Chain A
Amino acid sequence: MSDMVFTDEILMAFADGELDDETTRLVEAALETDDELMARVAMFMETRAASSEALKPLIDEPVPDQLVEKVRAMAAGAAARRGDSQTVAEADDSASADNVVAFRRPEPAAQSPRRPSQLMMALAASLLIVVGGVGGYLVGGAGQADVGNPQVAGLVDPIVSGILDQRASGEEIAIGEGEAKVRLVSTFQAGGQQICREYEMKRPDQPDFVSVACRNAGGWQTQLAIVMPESGEGFAPTSSVETVDAYLTSIGAGAPLEAEAEKKALAGQQ
């Protein structure tokens, strides 16, 4: 009966007790006269109760002893290792307070965001990072990566862009006479809606790299590219992969899209 329109999200937040006081009062007032509204709120209350109830048995299930033992063993291992490193750190401290660079900050700063620091650690562990710029690698001809002019930096080159626009993850595509190869790893959404893809590039006489590119109005934009060390035949070695994972986590990348969803997402906007 009320002329207020409440979205599902508002009613859900009301049911979950997450709504601000003012809106809560509005909803309460409307609920007094509106049965349909009540039904919508009740749905959210009941789905919460039902979900919680339905998965309760899982928590009473005994944890396999093996798993518990593993965790205890790992904790003991960590304790032993820390004991060692603390001894070293203390020795360093006493040796020279002023010319030793702190390796690990003793306490996280009050508001230090955890993600970026995790990312930084992974970056530090990887070999070489190039942000932007790699897009130009084909523009100036093979071996002339530096030629790419500043406006081009960050934009994925047209050939690879075409591949990113159209080909499915899991595919490996040869470029030109087959001297370069693109392997599409996955497609996912970052943050909210932006479509991003991870791919690997193998090139003759140049270092291979693994890259993340996201699509915006101007086309595919390189977000991250990591040059991979010589790894023989295979693609990305673990350290690069971990760095990419840390990066993707930091930008809030969602789960990789399934084949159908990927097709739709790629066709979506262009």
Chain B
Amino acid sequence: MTDPDIAFGERLVAFLPNLRRFAISLCRSRDLADDLVQAACEKALTGSERFEAGTRFDAWMFRILRNLWIDQLRRQKTAGPTEEIEAQPELAVPSGEAGSEARMTLKSVAAAIDDLVLEQREVLLLTCVEDLSYKEAADVLGIPIGTVMSRLARARKNLAEAAGIEPAAARSPDMRGGAR
């Protein structure tokens, strides 16, 4: 007989790359992210019976991790001004090898995502990167769908502007930036 906790643990292990990606992009620090991932796994394991079969495991884990992060931000707040946390992002993507032009563009998109305020960043990560629906993202974040949509729309406009993402095929007379 397979132990349910061991099976649950393996499921978590399989999901670690996603969870870690979400954590890194959320708190913009690998060290913080790994601590956060570990804490989230611990919480998930102690509350594994609260996971409802048939619902999305990833959404459940994202919610646990995200709530831990928000709690942590809130606690840090008591220690005085903590703008540094937001103001000193680590690059989300390792700069690694010198890249092609495509890589440069992508890197700037990652940096632009990092620059989004947390509210917009988290909603973008959940929907556009982790492929959750608006409804699922709303559940993870505990906000109405309408709020998810307005934040997400703003996030993407900001991103497009910051990273110079131009609609490839369209004429866009009032948009700035060179023709491509």
Q: A35 to B170, alpha carbons, bound, how many Å?
A: 7
Contact B118 A67 (CB under 8 A): no
Taking the complex as formed, is B67 at the interface, i.e. its CB lies under 8 A from any CB of chain A? yes
Chain A residues whose C-beta falls within 8 Å of the C-beta of B5 in the assembled complex? 75-76, 78-79, 82
Question: Looking at chain A's contact residues, is the secondary structure mostly helix, strand, loop, or mixed?
Answer: helix
How many inter-chain contacts with C-beta < 8 Å in the A-B complex? 213
Contact B171 A245 (CB under 8 A): no
Contact A12 B16 (CB under 8 A): no
Contact B73 A255 (CB under 8 A): yes
Report A62-76 residues with CB < 8 Å from chain B CB. 63-64, 67-68, 70-72, 74-76
Contact A43 B17 (CB under 8 A): no
Contact B128 A258 (CB under 8 A): no
Contact B73 A74 (CB under 8 A): no
Given A46-B165, A51-B128, A259-B83: A185 in contact with B156 (beta carbons within 8 A): no
Contact A245 B113 (CB under 8 A): no
Taking the complex as formed, is B77 at the interface, i.e. its CB lies under 8 A from any CB of chain A? yes
Contact A63 B149 (CB under 8 A): no
Render A50-61 as a binary contact track against B, CB cut-off 8 A, 1 for contact: 111111011111
Given A12-B156, A48-B128, A170-B79: A39 in contact with B175 (beta carbons within 8 A): yes
Contact A53 B77 (CB under 8 A): no
Q: A198 to B91, alpha carbons, bound, how many Å?
A: 32
Name the CB-closest residue of B to A261: B117
Q: A58 to B110, alpha carbons, bound, how many Å?
A: 10
Q: Which of A113-121, A146-154, A224-232 contacts B (4 or more CB under 8 A)?
A: A113-121
Contact A63 B20 (CB under 8 A): yes
Contact A39 B165 (CB under 8 A): no
Taking the complex as formed, is A186 at the interface, i.e. its CB lies under 8 A from any CB of chain B? yes
Taking the complex as formed, is B37 at the interface, i.e. its CB lies under 8 A from any CB of chain A? yes
Return the contact of B77 from the options A44, A185, A192 (Cβ within 8 A).
A185
Chain A residues whose C-beta falls within 8 Å of the C-beta of B167 in the assembled complex? 38-39, 42-43, 46
Q: A188 to B77, alpha carbons, bound, how many Å?
A: 11
Q: A57 to B157, alpha carbons, bound, how many Å?
A: 23
Return the contact of B25 from the options A55, A76, A115, A241 (Cβ within 8 A).
A55
Contact B106 A53 (CB under 8 A): yes
Return the contact of B94 from the options A57, A59, A77, A115 (Cβ within 8 A).
A57
Contact B109 A53 (CB under 8 A): yes
Contact B153 A8 (CB under 8 A): yes
Q: A220 to B135, alpha carbons, bound, how many Å?
A: 31
Taking the complex as formed, is B52 at the interface, i.e. its CB lies under 8 A from any CB of chain A? yes
Taking the complex as formed, is A13 at the interface, i.e. its CB lies under 8 A from any CB of chain B? yes
Contact B16 A78 (CB under 8 A): no
Q: How far is the CB of A13 from chain B (nearest CB, A)?
A: 7
Contact B13 A71 (CB under 8 A): yes
Q: A101 to B58, alpha carbons, bound, how many Å?
A: 34
Q: How far is the CB of A175 from chain B (nearest CB, A)?
A: 19
Q: How far is the CB of B152 from chain A (nearest CB, A)?
A: 7
Name the CB-closest residue of A to B25: A55
Chain A residues whose C-beta falls within 8 Å of the C-beta of B160 in the assembled complex? 43, 46-47
List, sorted by A's number, 7 A–B pairs whose CB atoms are closer than 8 Å: A9-B153, A57-B94, A58-B93, A170-B78, A192-B143, A249-B142, A255-B70
Other A-B pairs beyond A42-B170, A48-B127, A75-B12, 13, CB < 8 Å: A35-B170, A39-B175, A42-B169, A47-B159, A47-B165, A52-B129, A68-B13, A75-B10, A108-B49, A108-B52, A186-B74, A256-B74, A259-B81
Residue numbers of A with Cβ under 8 A of B are 8-9, 12-13, 16, 18, 35-36, 38-39, 42-44, 46-48, 50-55, 57-61, 63-64, 67-68, 70-72, 74-79, 82-83, 104, 108, 114-115, 117-118, 169-170, 183, 185-186, 188, 191-192, 198, 241, 245, 248-256, 258-259
Residue numbers of B with Cβ under 8 A of A are 3-6, 8-10, 12-13, 16-18, 20-21, 24-25, 34, 37-38, 41-42, 45-50, 52, 67, 70-71, 73-75, 77-81, 83, 86, 92-94, 106-107, 109-110, 113, 118-119, 124-125, 127-129, 131, 133-134, 141-144, 146-147, 149-150, 152-153, 156-157, 159-160, 163, 165-172, 175
